[in-house]
Amino acid sequence: MMAEEILSSGSAIASVSTVGYLGFLMVPPVVGFIAQAANLRWSFAVMACLGAMMVWMVSKVRED
């Protein structure tokens, strides 16, 4: 099934926006937790690795 068959464009945009807002709200506490457990350098290293993983995952998405 293609994405257009599952969600309307409005629902898809709302879903992506919701995930974006959740990331905006969740990343600062996660960075603080990692910084308290290890140090600030490790927390930014983890965020950099997650960012690189996102870039890699986006490169695997195909457009039909």
Dig out the tokens for 12 from the structure: 């898809």
- CA 46/CA 3 separation, integer angstroms: 31
- CA 64/CA 49 separation, integer angstroms: 29
Amino acid at position 46, single letter: V
Q: What's the confidence (pLDDT) of residue 46?
A: 92
How do the domains of the chain map onto residue ranges?
Answer: 8-59
Q: What is the mean pLDDT of residues 10-29?
A: 92
Q: What is the mean pLDDT of residues 9-27?
A: 91
Q: What's the confidence (pLDDT) of residue 2?
A: 57
> pLDDT tens digits, residue range 22-61?
989 999 999 999 999 999 999 999 999 999 999 999 898 8
Residue 9's pLDDT band (cuts 50, 70, 90): confident
Q: What's the confidence (pLDDT) of residue 62?
A: 76
- CA 30/CA 46 separation, integer angstroms: 10
